[in-house]
Structure formats: structure tokens, C-alpha cells
Amino acid sequence: MQDVKSLPDHAARIGAYLQEARARGTVRGKSGKTIEFGKTPIRAAQDQTLIDAIVQERPERTLETGFAYGFSTLLFCKSMLENGTQAPQHVAIDPFQSGDVFDSAGLIACEEAGVSDMLEFYHEGSQYVLPRLIKDERSFDLIFIDGGHLFELAFMDILFSISLIRPGGLILVDDMWMPSVRAAVDYAVKNLGLIHENAVAAKPLGLLRRARNMQRSPQEQTAFLRRPVELPKRNWDHFVPFDHAW
């Protein structure tokens, strides 16, 4: 357990590391190469969405699918320390961390920022890890879904997360501008009882807007899905049609 006085120092160290990396626009890979990060790490507005959710929910155990350069993991650890959480625990899952693209840069970043002790990392697809965590009866206060963005991967992440999030806990789903992700969220809301706290009317993104990857409201970017304390009872043939496939 950390000395309470050192929590703000530790958070400041992580914050300084993040700021430097963002200013540089590069991270270091395990092979020694310098990696310029493009669109993959979440941007400032998305950072704020995550920070706000962590401040509001005050989680102690968090999980994310999709680790990339470790930026969202660093934000989770920093914000939990800033909340005064004594022994934050964060699980991150990504099968491609040691591959050519990421070259273990996220794990190196976590080591350099001093969060390795808080991190439990799985170098596998979330579709294989999450069922094991369910079997081990693990439970989380806040889950961030930002891994595989194919419909079936987003769908499985949400489905398994319903068993991993504590009753009343929050699941955040990133990249709601993608039809595949919206469809997975729509299924979970209409059929599995998740409550979409920041839903907005569906609004197709024009090709130009999509191509420019711009002008998204926070609602278009990240869905806040609350797991009710009691999940709805469903008949064997229950099915509500869903469609956000634009």
C-alpha cells in the first residue's frame, strides 16, 4: 500500500510523463526504435471524458481492452491516484503489444512512468481473456472498451463486461462514430438491459466528416453504459431488433 502523502507525487510523475510524450509525439519501442504515434492514442477531449468518468465513479479496480501505447492506462492510474485510491489496480488487454506496430512501447511507457505495479497486462485477445476473468470471479468498478473494433469483437467485449462490471458500475465504449461499435452498443441496450446514459439521436456522419475524423461530440465518441443493479429477466425467445448500421 502506498504512503497517502506520496499519491499526489506519483500522479504528478505520471502526468509529467504523459505530457512529455504528447509534446514529443513519439514513444520508444523495445527494439530501440522511435515510434511516431498517429491517430491511435486517444486525444485530449477523449482524455477528459475518461478523467471525468474516473473522478465521478471513484473506481479502485478498472479494466480496458485495447492498450496500444499505454496512454489510457496511464490516465486510469493517474486519475485513480488523484482520487486518493490507495492501491489502484488496472487490467489491460491487447494481443498486438509486442508486434511491429507497438513494439512493446505501451509496456515501456508504463514502466518509465512507474505504474507497472498497478498494471496486470494480458498479451492476448480480449475475447479469450475476459471469459477467464469471469471464471475467476473478478469484478471491476469501471471498464473501458477500446480494443478490436469489428462488430463481433466490440459485441463480445460488451457482453463479457456485463458479467465483470459490478452491479451499478459503468462501461465506457469508445469510437461510437463507427457503425460496428454503435450496432454492438444498440444490441446491448435494447436486449441486455444496459442503460445508455449519454445517448443522442443517431446522426449519420457525412463522408467528409468521417474522412477528416473530426467534429464529434463526446456522445458520438464514447458511450456511457450503466449496468443496472438487477439485470432484466428475459424469456428464452426474447429479442429486440436493433440497427445502427449506418
* Site membership for ligand SAM, residue 148 (CB under 6 A): yes
User: Among all chains, which residue has been given the C-alpha cell 527494439?
Assistant: 31
Q: For residue 134, what are the contacts with CB-CB under 8 A and spacing of at least 6?
A: 160, 163, 164
**Which stretch in 54-62, 92-100, 178-186, 231-239 sits in contact with ligand SAM by CB under 6 A?**
92-100
Q: How far is the CB of 130 from ligand SAM (least distance, A)?
A: 9
**Which stretch in 15-23, 34-42, 179-187, 200-208 sits in contact with ligand SAM by CB under 6 A?**
34-42
Q: Which one, 2 or 26, has the nearer CB to ligand SAM?
A: 26
Q: What is the DSSP string of 180-213?
A: HHHHHHHHHHHHS--EETT-----PPPHHHHHHT
In the range 54-73, which residues lie near ligand SAM by CB under 6 A? 65-69, 71-72
Distance of CA 8 to CAs 58, 81, 85, 150, 175, Å? 16, 7, 10, 38, 31
CB 63 within 8 A of CB 52: no
* Site membership for ligand SAM, residue 29 (CB under 6 A): no
Q: Which one, 42 or 205, has the nearer CB to ligand SAM?
A: 42
**Which stretch in 93-101, 111-119, 180-188, 212-220 sits in contact with ligand SAM by CB under 6 A?**
93-101
CB 77 within 8 A of CB 91: no
| One residue of 63, 93, 162, 183 binding ligand SAM per CB under 6 A | 93
DSSP character for 214? -
List residues bridging with 172 in a β-sheet.
144, 224
**Which stretch in 37-45, 186-194, 205-213, 237-245 sits in contact with ligand SAM by CB under 6 A?**
37-45
* Site membership for ligand SAM, residue 125 (CB under 6 A): yes
Q: For residue 217, what are the contacts with CB-CB under 8 A and spacing of at least 6?
A: 200
Question: Of 238, 239, 91, whose CA–CA distance to 164 is shortest?
Answer: 91
Q: Which one, 73 or 85, has the nearer CB to ligand SAM?
A: 73
Q: How far is the CB of 4 from ligand SAM (least distance, A)?
A: 28
Q: Which one, 13 or 123, has the nearer CB to ligand SAM?
A: 123
Binding residues vs ligand SAM (CB under 6 A): 40-42, 65-69, 71-72, 93-96, 125-127, 146-148, 153
